[in-house]
Amino acid sequence: MTFAVIAFIGGVLTIFSPCVLPVLPFVLSRADRPFMQSTFPVLVGMALTFAAVATLAAIGGSWVVQANEAGRYAAIGVLAVVGVTLISSRAANVLARPMVALGARLLPTGRNLSSTGSLLLGIATGLLWTPCAGPILGLVLTDAALDGANAGTAASLLAYSSGAASSMAVAILLGGRVLTAIRRSFGVGHRIRQGLGFAVLAGATFIAFGFDTSLFAQVPYASTTGAERALLDAFRVSGANVTITGTGKTGAVMIGGDVHPNYRSNLPVEGHLPSLLGAVGWLNSPPLSPELLRGKVALIDFWTYSCINCIRTVPYVRAWAEKDQGLVVIGVHTPEFAFEKNVDNIKKALSRFKISYPVAIDSDYGIWRAFQNNYWPAFYFVDAGGQIRYHQFGEGDYDKAEKVIRELLAEAGSQVSGTAPIAPDARGEEAAPDLGHIRSGETYIGYREASNFASPEYLKDDAAQNYTAGRLGLNAWSLTGNWTVGSEQATLNQASGGITYRFSARDLHLVLGAGAGGKPVRFQVTIDGKPPGEDHGADTDASGNGTVTDTRLYQLVRQAGAVRQRTFAIRFLDPGVQAFVFTFG
């Protein structure tokens, strides 16, 4: 109950933040109408819709994101029509004719705007409202992202939106009196109505182009933030003081107790958590920020979905996210190849690797540069105060990483059950490498970083050419058939082309992309000129048959016996395949 009251007060304070500006014209356009018939339904619709959408967002399903985007576009259209009808009575009459009775309810052509129409207008406003996330809303959204949709989260969000609606109601009542006084004194009621119409159109345009989230994220509003922090401190509430219970597969965590626990780790402070505003989008979560993570221990994981080193860390990161309920794991997906910027490809990768924790899409390298990062994978461990306390580059040393997580959770006042390090069941390409027998390294096929190319013909940049097999020493490779070699990849122009590679490692992987329009490409793999048999990888059968369906890493060889030098060959039965890079394990 106490936190619901705090959330309500936090909502009231939004009237003083800049992010309320884009939606104010929508609700102020009703200031000259009866409050209970027009303004009150608008505010109720706005509050209920914001709370419902934010609660559903905690589920993290892609259908929620898509439905919300569709709703936003529809709402922008509705409010644009409202703006036009405010500007022009003639336009209002024209738009109202084909809609008959429904139009009379929804469009403000006169003084008889129905309560139903006002409620629908409020729903449209609620779909578009994006409040500035201060500390109070940050606590609510972070806990929603961790715990998912539940009654407590919904109640807190409803309290917050109700507080915002209450402060807007006061603004509308005052605005209505000011407009009435101006109208009586100067007789410019029609011009005021047109001005509100232009303001509504401007607000809809502002939101349509994303300025409400991109521009206002840069605007300081320290007075609101300071007031919210003072309120939280007065009630001794922080993210680390909200009770969260979890029942992960290997353990459970309960967070609560003192805000400043006695335990203090010896880990040094390496810096502060940079901004996450560089993300071009988020998956599995609403956008997160250092402010939203206040009071939480966080792991920031830089990865990209076709990187074999990143893939092999996924079972551990996934297990930490499931096990340590006091830990917020954020995957920052920063692409190496152009195809990794495709959001649909990223979504498929999340599904393939069963990743449900928040993922920031860093396709423009904004977060990467903010961290001054240079590695895939890279872990940054952040304490409850927003300070980076440890970092780790590359795969391995998972016991050390888990020890750091436990120390930071203990420092935040968490009680972690179970002390045994996790041992995930990693299979296929996620399995740990056989480091004792790897004598082959990452080999790029695009001309920008290609090496050890052994075909008699030189690589011809960005032009079709016939290639023939060459004599292969260890770690040399060649093309056969007609290929066009680009800066990142080689594209097969005619069926029956192939690639050969002389390697020494337990596992061989190749990043491949499907043909034009995503058309599947069939292939056959041989090892030393024979079907792979028990040495086949996860993406081939014993006869060496497989199909390229998505642009991703394919495991083509896993030697079951002694690891030795082998000659790998792959022949593509269909044209259009793209080949990017070999990796080994």
Backbone angles phi, psi at 300, to 5 degrees: -100, 120
Give the end of a domain, one of 379, 407, 430.
Answer: 430
Instruction: Note the pLDDT of residue 49.
Output: 79
pLDDT band at 154 (very low <50, low <70, confident <90, very high): confident
Three-point CA angle 204, 27, 207, nearest 5° = 20
Give the residue-averaged pLDDT of 54-71: 51
Whether 148 and 283 map to the same domain: the answer is no
* Average pLDDT score over residue span 217-234: 54
Q: How sure is the predictor about 248, in pLDDT bands with cuts at 50, 70 and 90?
A: very low
Condensed to tens digits (0 to 9), the pLDDT of residues 526-546 reads 999 999 999 999 999 999 999
Q: Do 420 and 536 lie in a common domain?
A: no
Confirm if 128 and 75 have CB atoms less than 8 A apart.
yes
Q: Provide the domain limits for residue 564.
A: 435-584
Q: What is the pLDDT of residues 281-309, one digit of tens each?
A: 999 999 999 988 988 999 999 999 999 99
pLDDT per position as a tens digit, 111-142: 444 566 677 767 766 665 555 545 556 556 55
Mean local confidence (pLDDT), 449-476: 94
- The residues facing 330 across adjacent strands are 300
pLDDT of residue 9: 83
Helices (H), 16-134: 24-28, 40-57, 62-87, 89-96, 100-106, 115-128
Average pLDDT over residues 333-349: 94
Q: Which of 397, 430, 463 is the last residue of a domain?
A: 430
Q: Please, which contacts does 391-396 make with residues 24 or more away whose CB atoms are closer than 8 Å?
A: 391/270, 394/309, 395/309, 395/310, 395/312, 395/313
* Within-domain flag for 467: yes
Question: What does the pLDDT look like over 347-358, one tens digit per residue?
Answer: 999 999 999 999
What own/partner pairs with CB < 8 Å and gap ≥ 24 does 213-216 have?
213/130, 213/287, 216/18, 216/19, 216/21, 216/132
- Both tokens of 246, joined, read 């979890």
Q: Report the pLDDT value the prediction gives residue 171, as an integer from 0 to 100.
A: 74
Q: Evaluate whether 347 touches 62 at the Cβ level (below 8 Å).
A: yes
Residue 423 has pLDDT above 90, yes or no: no
- Do 395 and 336 fall within a single domain? yes
The mean per-residue pLDDT over the stretch 9-29 comes to 65
Greater confidence, 364 or 18? 364
Strands 281-283 vs 545-548: parallel, antiparallel or unpaired: unpaired
Q: What pLDDT is stored for residue 190 in this prediction? A: 58
Share of the chain above pLDDT 90, in %: 47
The answer to whether position 424 is within a domain reads yes
Question: How many domains would you assign to the chain?
Answer: 3
* Whole-angstrom distance, CA of residue 133 vs CA of residue 135: 7
**Residue 24 confidence class, pLDDT cut points 50, 70, 90:** low
245: left (phi over 0), alpha (psi -120 to 50) or beta: beta
The reply to whether 230 falls in a domain is: no
pLDDT top residue among 511 and 56: 511
Q: Does residue 233 fall inside a structural domain?
A: no
Q: Give the CATH number for residue 505.
A: 2.60.120.260
What pLDDT, on a 0 to 100 scale, did the predictor assign at position 264?
Answer: 82
Q: Which residue has the tokens 């061989």?
A: 508
Q: Assign residue 282 the CATH number of its domain.
A: 3.40.30.10
Q: Are residues 63 and 208 in the same domain?
A: yes
d(CA 517, CA 470): 32
Task: For tokens 């086949």, name the residue.
Answer: 536
Rounded CA separation 187/179 (Å) = 11
- Check residue 257 and give its pLDDT: 34
> What is the structure's pLDDT at 10?
75
Q: Give the pLDDT score at 113.
A: 44
The residue among 446, 469, 448, 475 whose CA lies nearest residue 457 is: 469
Residues pairing with 328 in the sheet: 298
Closest by Cα among 338, 78, 399 to 207: 78
Beta bridge partners of 583: 509
Same domain? For 273 and 323 the reply is yes
Domain boundary among 408, 430, 452: 430
Q: Can you tell me the distance from the alpha carbon of 262 to that of 580, in angstroms, rounded to the nearest whole number?
A: 52
Q: Are strands 281-283 and 271-272 parallel, antiparallel or unpaired?
A: unpaired
Same domain, yes or no: 404 and 268: yes
State mean pLDDT over 405-430. 80
pTM of the model: 0.59
